[in-house]
Amino acid sequence: MNYWYDGQLFKEDKICLSIDNPGLKYGATVFTTLRVYQQSLEHPLTQWEAHCHRLKKSLEAFGWCLPNWQNLSQGANYLIPTYPVLRITIFPDGKEWITGRFLAKNLVKLQQEGVKGWLADNSLFQRSLKAHKTGNYLGAYLALKKAKTLGFQEAILVNSQGNWLETSTGNLWGWKERTWYTPALEVGILPGIGRWQLINWLRQNNIKIEENQWTPSWIKSLEIVAYSNSVVEVIPFASIDCYEELLTFDVSSEALKILYHYYDRDGDGVTG
């Protein structure tokens, strides 16, 4: 396994960190995960600049050191011939750590057949510093692990009022009455790059998109629910277990092809 750390490429599966490293002790890092299309950081779907901007914005908000951006792109370019997915982590001292992974083998199947979702309990499964993607991702991690233990494939996080926020790994999308909906940033969610891409594209193509609050009663009127992130693109929910009620959705709906089309313009995304 190859990884890049502090300006160097390592061909091993271990990393050497000080026992006082705040990233190790407190999860004090910021990170972003991206899918590299056609092995190019310049490909418009890769959104390299947007991912770098996400890192920079969080680092500045925390008062941490900025990385050497040349090292960052150099490390990414070393790894992308092997790995289509990169996770870029920045420590408070500005050192960069880049790891790679492969796409899930069943990704196309999940996109076509949908997944089973589980509504997580608000009292335990929450993400900290919701506007930033930090290494302290324990709440979302635990929610996803619990969902999988129960036989589901994705978890949905809610607030204290029971309003839906986001999934453990992405942003939510809903469809009804010829309009796409996604939870507003003001409710306390991560401003996902995939979310931002899709909102802009929908608006540019005069497709109705609204950012709103997802209350339990309103959610029941949705015809489709899906989630997105920069790696999996868009995956619909076939069903969602809402405590004592099961919501089911049509994953073959033509409306889903609207979102799929954004990624399939050059044949490198989903087929719908």
The tens digit of pLDDT for each residue in 138-162 reads: 999 999 999 999 999 999 999 999 9
Q: Is 204 left (phi over 0), alpha (psi -120 to 50) or beta?
A: alpha
**Average of pLDDT values for 212-222?**
96
Positive or negative, the CA dihedral 107, 227, 168, 131 is positive
Average pLDDT of the chain, as a whole number: 94
For the chain, the residue count is: 272
Q: What is the pLDDT of residue 266?
A: 54
User: How far apart, in whole angstroms, are the C-alpha atoms of residue 30 and residue 28?
Assistant: 7
Which residues, 6 or more positions from 32, have their beta carbon under 8 angstroms from its beta carbon?
51, 54, 55, 87, 88, 133, 193
Contact status, residue 128 vs residue 141, Cβ threshold 8 Å: no
End-to-end Cα distance, the chain: 32
The tens digit of pLDDT for each residue in 249-266 reads: 999 999 999 999 999 855
User: How far apart, in whole angstroms, are the C-alpha atoms of residue 163 and residue 217?
Assistant: 9
Note the pTM of the prediction, 2 decimals.
0.94
Percent of the chain with pLDDT over 90: 92
Distance from CA of residue 123 to its chain's centroid? 22
- H helices present in the chain, as ranges: 22-26, 48-62, 69-79, 107-113, 138-149, 193-204, 216-219, 256-263
- CB atoms inside a 10 Å sphere around CB 20: 7
**Average of pLDDT values for 110-121?**
95
User: How far apart, in whole angstroms, are the C-alpha atoms of residue 128 and residue 135?
Assistant: 10
Instruction: Give the residue carrying structure tokens 């490390």.
Output: 75
User: How far apart, in whole angstroms, are the C-alpha atoms of residue 130 and residue 137?
Assistant: 10
Q: What is the pLDDT of residue 267?
A: 41
pLDDT grade for 270, boundaries at 50, 70 and 90: very low
Domains and CATH numbers, the chain: 2-101 (3.30.470.10), 107-263 (3.20.10.10)
CA distances from 29 to 98, 132, 133, 148 (A): 12, 10, 9, 26
